Amino acid sequence: MTLPIILALDTKDLNQAGEWIKASSDQIDHFKIGLEFYLLHGSEGIMQLREVSDFKLFLDLKLYDIPNTVKGAVESVAKLSPKFLTVHASGGAKMIEVATKALPNGSITAVTVLTSFSEDDFSRMGYKSSIADITDLMASTAIKAGATSLVCSPFEVSNLRSKFKEAVLITPGVRAEGDDLGDQSRVMSAPDAITAGADFVVIGRSITSQWDGSDLKMRKKIELIANSLG
């Protein structure tokens, strides 16, 4: 049985990413690849990683542009068959609508408010509403436009679950007890996020920081998180 974890392969090193997949693929079958890796290695790098394991791809590119440009970008990566492909919810309904049509066999995943933002950060950017209210508005717009999955912090997931029963809810900003928060502001434990309504939690450094050249410490950390999930 695999865990409801998407392991973030946040590295520019192709070989390192492959080692992390090998170390965890018996318990995790969803892996996140973001800009750090993709801008250096592109589609070819992802295809090489798929030779290590035929994993389910969370392609975290957070696309944001005019609708026609996003449509072309989605078409460019569709050959990779991402299960989830992220776009910024703030791109609006037309952008999300064309993205969903360009990826008929995958889930366009609308990213709401980044977990690195605190309420103070949000206010300083000029927002008059709370993060929760803006997340709600963005999520509603995205779902109506055809997105079938959403990214939000663990603090907004309960509200979104009550409103969008069929959407896949994915929460970054997840840390195990005692872990460094790094650049995250709105953080929760994996079991709390799942209990609140998340389908998947995205975890990166909490697990991958345990890599020391062998997979033993990484596996132990995954086991620790697995046990916490029951």
- Closest alpha carbon to 78 in 117, 121, 108: 108
101 classed as catalytic: no
Q: How far apart are CA 225 and CA 205, in angstroms?
A: 13
Please tell me the total number of residues recorded for the chain in this structure. 230
φ/ψ of 77, rounded to 5, equals: -105, 0
- 91: CB partners within 8 A, 6+ apart: 63, 64, 65, 70
What's the rounded Cα separation, in Å, for the pair 48 and 130?
Answer: 42
Residue 53 contacts by C-beta under 8 Å, 6 or more apart in sequence?
Answer: 21, 22, 25, 29
CB atoms within 10 A of CB 79: 10
Q: Which one from 62, 71, 83, 221 is the annotated catalytic residue?
A: 62
**Residues annotated as part of the active site:** 62
